[in-house]
Amino acid sequence: MSLLNYNRNKKQDNKSRILIPRDLYRNRFILPIFVIIGCWIITYFIWDNSNTRINNELRLYFEFRVREVNTRIQHRIGSYEQILRGVRGLYVASDNVRRSEFSAFCNSLHLDENYPGIQGLGFSLIIPLDQIKKHIEAIHNEGFPEYKLWPVGNRETYTSIIYLEPFNDRNLRAFGYDMFSEPIRRKAMEWARDSNEVAISGKVVLVQEIGKEVQAGFLLYLPVYKNGVSNISVIERRKNILGWVYSPFRMGDFMEGLFGEYAADLDVEIYDGKIVSAETKMFDSQSPSGKHFQPLRSSRVMKLNGNEWTILVKSTPKLESRIDSTSTRIILIIGISISILLVIIVWLIEKKKMFDKIVEDERNRHEKMVEKTNKELTKLNAEKDKFFSIIAHDLKSPFQGFLGITEQMSDETKEFSQGEFLDYSKLLYKTASEYYKLLENLLEWAQIQNGSINYMPNDVDLTGIVSEGIASVRSVAFQKKIVITNELPEMIGVYADERMIGTVVRNLLSNAVKFTNHGGYIKVSAEETDNNMVIVSITDSGVGMSAELINKLFKMEEKVGREGTDGELSSGLGLLLCKEFVEMHGGKISVESKVNEGSTFSFTISKANKM
């Protein structure tokens, strides 16, 4: 007999009537309301924590990419400075560098293949006023009857571009141009002359531009002085200057290919000087149509010889997509789903309590009823007990499992990795759809296994550790005539296990010595970042590595052993140990290298708390 039939019979009997008390009817909704509010609060805090973690990861990744942008620009400029120093070597070795010698040297460099963005290499000669006519006749006699000095006009100093390779196409337009007559170029030429260093000009439009796709440009200058005389003082340099070797650049060509496959991650803008405006803009990697709201921005001033560039970097959707944010949406979906399920379960339990109360009241009021009524109530109670036994078995047990899951989520969310969190989310979805397997799945979930390595961090002096590391390889370096430079401050503190970090430094220095040729150099430097980290870099002038070899480093399954420059053996296990120790400190290790251009190994570590 169902409860509904029982009520109908009682109404027909008119002897008694089942009444549900108002307070009991109302109270059955109170607990479900508190449950859903509590679940939503827990869901919000878990979601907020996950969202904060993702934003922090994105910020750290963006800051790393910003540093990479600045480093790559500086490295590219540095490589071109070395070219100019090589060209100046021609003039140091000879009092009269002929056009054919200059051309042969420049062609040997294969500029188009090896140095992207460079427009050419040239020499600008200073021409005394009383020798202008003689100079023009000499160039005419070389086979250039249309040669002339330009622009025309009276001025104190005259210069002329007499050599410029490759001597074709756009570069022909610059033949005979007096760069000293233009204020921006003259400022850089004067700075180079007085400092005897490479100077970088401000923003200019190159005379090579022909009116199509005009780009902002700049030039590098390096002075050439008379041989055999002193050039120590500024006065001597001004007196003995012969001219400048120089290189013109179109800014767009200079930046092309600099960021590789990740170029679309960032919107990079470069401005001449510290003022950011349309007039000073030299480069913009994104077209105006590709602009959008950019939450991450960085502005840094890059100090250049005789000039400054403002590097403005902004994030793009491509960079933001590299940080997986699906976990936040999954948290919301799972939180809402669990909340609804728990409310249903709690509501059913409360409903059961209400029916228990009703049945109990009815039984007390009718305990003196006739035997037939007692039998009906007995039968009704039996059916009721069976019904709620099913509820207790099929709903209460899974509900207890769900409570255990949510308790574990609230206690251990911060310890979950992203992969573990996704697996955990899939488990919750599976338990909701496959109802009767809930308890079995929950019992099969295991704790994250902890490592047993003896790790004892403390505040230690990084400078001292590096000094000890240098001392450990100094004898081998001395045999190979390798100069090791320690550029760390007098004392820089880090929070680390001294033994482990010492091992890392020694292994990296040992590798640098192994793969650096006789007479090379090794430099150790450190840089403090804004996020309480220290970047330690070990740079050598060694044989370098290919991209294929770099990809194999730090992988246990790859064999990267090779011989050093003196046949030294190397198994590659030292780098694996470095990676393990650095990551145990919460840092990262990386390498930048090119074949025959040396290598830079860098790792990050936390700054000291009190030092």
| Whether residues 419 and 514 fall in one domain | no
Tell me which H or E stretch contains 461. Answer: strand 458-461
The verdict on 241 and 133 lying in the same domain is yes
CA distance 4 to 13: 14
Domain stop point among 399, 422, 444: 444
**Distance (Å, whole) CA 17 – CA 13:** 9
Task: Confirm if 501 and 603 have CB atoms less than 8 A apart.
Answer: no
Question: Which pLDDT does position 476 carry in this prediction?
Answer: 83
Range of lowest pLDDT (31-35, 126-130, 188-192, 262-266): 31-35
Out of 176-185, 433-442, 546-555, which region has the weakest mean confidence (pLDDT)? Answer: 433-442
User: 208, 232, 255: which is the final residue of a domain?
Assistant: 255
Of residues 449 and 531, the one with the higher pLDDT is 531
Q: Please state, in angstroms and as integers, the Cα–Cα distance from residue 175 to each residue in 107, 206, 378, following that order.
A: 18, 12, 115
Task: Kindly state whether residue 160 falls inside one of the protein's structural domains.
Answer: yes
Percent of the chain scored above 70 by pLDDT?
78
Do 558 and 602 lie in one domain? The reply is yes
Q: Is the pLDDT score of 262 beyond 90?
A: no
Q: Give 77's contacts (C-beta < 8 A, 6+ positions apart).
A: 200, 220, 304
CATH number (domain holding residue 238): 3.30.450.350
pLDDT in tens, 173-214: 999 999 999 999 999 999 999 999 999 999 999 998 877 789
Task: Give this prediction's pTM.
Answer: 0.51
Domain with residue 527: its CATH number is 3.30.565.10
Are the C-beta atoms of 577 and 507 separated by less than 8 Å? yes
Q: What is the mean pLDDT of the chain?
A: 82
DSSP letters spanning 253-275: HHHTTSSGGGGGGEEEEEEESS-
Q: How many CB atoms lie within 10 A of CB 559?
A: 9
Q: Within 515-611, where are the H helices?
A: 547-552, 573-584
- Smallest Cα–Cα separation from 190: which of 159, 148, 228, 229? 159
Q: Given this model, what pLDDT does residue 181 score?
A: 97
Give tens-digit pLDDT for 491-500. Answer: 889 999 888 8
Rounded-to-integer distance, Cα 513 and Cα 541, Å: 10
Residue 50 in any domain: the answer is yes
- The DSSP H or E segment spanning 484 is strand 483-486
| pLDDT the model gives residue 52 | 83
pLDDT in tens, 461-496: 999 999 999 988 888 888 889 999 999 988 889 999
Nearest-angstrom CA–CA distance, 488 and 470? 12
Q: Within a domain: residue 267?
A: yes
Whether 592 is in a domain gets the answer yes
Position 11 in a domain: yes
Predicted local distance difference test score (pLDDT) of residue 313: 94
- Judge if 429 and 471 occupy the same domain: no
* Residue 370: predicted pLDDT: 65
Question: Is 181 domain-assigned?
Answer: yes
Q: What is the rounded CA–CA span in Å between residue 264 and residue 582?
A: 30
Identify which has the larger pLDDT, 424 or 49. Answer: 49
Token readout for 511 is 């590798």
Q: Which of 421, 414, 424, 426 is nearest to 445 (CA)?
A: 424
98 and 205 inside one domain:
yes
Determine the Cα–Cα distance for residues 158 and 178; give it in Å rounded to an integer: 6
Same domain membership, residue 474 and residue 430: no
| Per-residue pLDDT tens over the stretch 572-584 | 667 877 888 898 8
Among 108-117, 147-156, 341-350, name the most confident range: 147-156
Q: What domain range is 162 assigned to?
A: 94-255
Q: Are residues 469 and 570 in the same domain?
A: yes
Of 112, 89, 115, the C-alpha closest to 102 is: 89
112-129 core/surface letters (b: 16 or more CB in 10 A; e: else): eeebebbbbbbbbebbee
DSSP E strands in 305-407: the ranges are: 307-315
Q: 458-461 and 493-496 as β-strands: parallel, antiparallel, unpaired?
A: antiparallel
Looking at the structure, tell me whether residues 226 and 117 fall in a common domain: yes
* The two structure tokens encoding residue 101: 């010698």
Q: Give the pLDDT of residue 206.
A: 94
Task: Based on the fold, state whether residues 372 and 484 are members of the same structural domain.
Answer: no
Structure tokens of 42? 């827990």
Q: Select from 387, 420, 444 the last residue of a domain.
A: 444
Q: If we measure between CA atoms, which residue out of 495, 501, 504 comes closest to residue 460?
A: 495
Question: Is residue 54 pLDDT above 90, yes or no?
Answer: no
Q: What pairing do the DSSP bridges indicate for beta strands 281-284 and 266-272?
A: antiparallel
Same domain, residue pair 122 and 246: yes
Question: Are 239 and 136 contained in the same domain?
Answer: yes
Within-domain flag for 62: no
How many domains would you assign to the chain? 4
Average pLDDT score over residue span 420-430: 55
Q: Predicted confidence band at 610 (pLDDT cuts at 50, 70, 90)?
A: confident
Whether 478 and 577 map to the same domain: the answer is yes
CA distances from 322 to 26, 262, 289, 297 (A): 51, 11, 22, 17
- 95-122 pLDDT, tens digit per residue, is 899 999 999 999 999 988 888 778 999 9
The residue whose two tokens read 């400075």 is 81
Contact 123, 246 (CB under 8 A): yes
What is the predicted pLDDT for the residue at 455? 77
Residue range 282-338, pLDDT digits in tens: 999 887 655 666 679 999 999 999 899 999 999 988 887 777 667 777 877 888 888
Task: Give pLDDT, residue 208.
Answer: 87
Indicate whether 346 belongs to any domain.
yes
Cβ(580)–Cβ(465) below 8 Å:
no
